[in-house]
Structure formats: C-alpha cells, structure tokens
Amino acid sequence: MARKKGGAAVCGRALCATRAAGDNRSLPAPALHRPFDTMNLAFDSSTITHSIQLAVAPVFLLTAVAGMIGAVAGRLARIIDRARVVEDRARHSDEAEFLERAVIELGYLRTRGRMANGCIGLLTLCGFLIGVTIILLFLGETTDFRGHTWALASFLSGVLSFLLALVLFFVETVMATRILNFHMLRSPLPAPVPKQS
C-alpha cells in the first residue's frame, strides 16, 4: 500500500513537472527575448506615404543650401583668380603706389577667401544636419524609434548654420566693394593735353 502511495506521489510530481514544462513552452511570444522589439516596422501604405511626405519637407531647405554652395564656390574661385593676378602683377612692378595698393587688396582677398570657406563649411554642415533630420523623422514615423527630440535639435542646428552662412555671405559681399575707389568716378577727368603741331 505504501508503495502504491509512493508511486502515485511520484507520478503526480512527474505530471506537474510535465504540465509546468508544457506551460513554459506555451508562453506567449512577447515573454521571449526578441532583439527587434524596439524597431517594429509598420509597412502600412498610408503610414509610409505620410512618413515620406513628412520627411521630404526639409528637402526644400537642402535645395536652397545647394544653390548657395554653388554661388559661394563661384565667388571663391573668382577671389583666387584675382589674388593670382594681383600677385603676378606685384612681382613684375616697381611702382611703390601700385605695390602698396596690391598689398591692401591681397589682404582683403585673403579675408574674403576665409569668409567664403567658412560660409561653405556652414552650408555643408547645414545640409548634413538636414539630412539627419530627414532620417530621424522617417524612422520615427515608420518604427517605434522615438527620435523627435533629436530631429528637432538637428533641424534647429541646421537652420542656425544656414543663418550664420548668410551673415558671412553678406559680410563677404560688403568687403568686395570696400577696395574700390568710387570717388575716382566722381572726380573730374584731367583736361586733354593739346597736341603740338
């Protein structure tokens, strides 16, 4: 009789262990560790369309940035060409007045070149930050990635870089006219020397 009770107890324990194992095997999927729980993709067509529309909005700023980079790069090329011409003329000139003016103009050209380089650098940084903003917005709309704060920070940083580039561009254009002697245009022309017959 004791053997039967002991056998029943052993069978009962085995049955409980089997049921427990079966219950563990039948646990729902969220209880298991899945590395991609934080990046659940939503392939709904309307969501994808709205995400693309939201992400493409900053592209218009990228168009303006690309146009400004082309304009500033053209001005930088002209600054370099002008500096080479002035340096070449200064090497082959012995006139003191021309050499003094050439040194002043080369100083302005060097400052303008640095400003143009800074402007191009800020515009490049702006384009990079706007691209990061587009990526963050698209991921935030199509996945569970919460990067709206980072997207806002990158967008504002890009706009700030664009504004600073505009300031440098304006200062560079103002400096381009400071070396011109406009008073010479308003001064009367010297009287022509009569020819001796």
Query: What are the pLDDT digits (tens) for 27-82?
Result: 444 444 444 444 444 456 666 666 666 666 677 888 889 999 999 999 999 999 99
Residues 172-188 as b/e (b if ≥16 CB within 10 A, e otherwise) read beeebeeeeeeeeeeee
Query: What are the pLDDT digits (tens) for 99-140?
Result: 888 888 888 899 999 999 999 999 999 999 999 988 888 787
CA-nearest of 79, 85, 87 to 108 is 79
Which domain, by its residues, includes 89? 65-180
Instruction: Indicate whether 132 belongs to any domain.
Output: yes
Q: Give the pLDDT confidence score for residue 183 in this predicted structure.
A: 46
Q: Give the pLDDT confidence score for residue 27 in this predicted structure.
A: 46
Percent of the chain clearing pLDDT 90 (strictly above): 32
Instruction: Indicate whether 74 belongs to any domain.
Output: yes
Q: Give the pLDDT confidence score for residue 193 in this predicted structure.
A: 55
Rounded Cα distance, 155 and 163, in Å = 12
Instruction: Indicate whether 190 belongs to any domain.
Output: no
Residues in the chain, how many? 197
Instruction: Indicate whether 20 belongs to any domain.
Output: no
Write down the mean pLDDT value for the chain: 75
How far separated are the first and last CA of the chain, in Å rounded? 156
Q: How many domains is the chain partitioned into structurally? A: 1
Instruction: Indicate whether 158 belongs to any domain.
Output: yes
Using the predicted structure, report yes or no on whether residue 167 has a pLDDT greater than 60. Answer: yes
Instruction: Indicate whether 14 belongs to any domain.
Output: no
Instruction: Indicate whether 46 belongs to any domain.
Output: no
Query: What are the pLDDT digits (tens) for 49-64?
Result: 666 666 666 778 888 8
Instruction: Indicate whether 129 belongs to any domain.
Output: yes
Tokens of 130: 């706007």
pTM score = 0.63
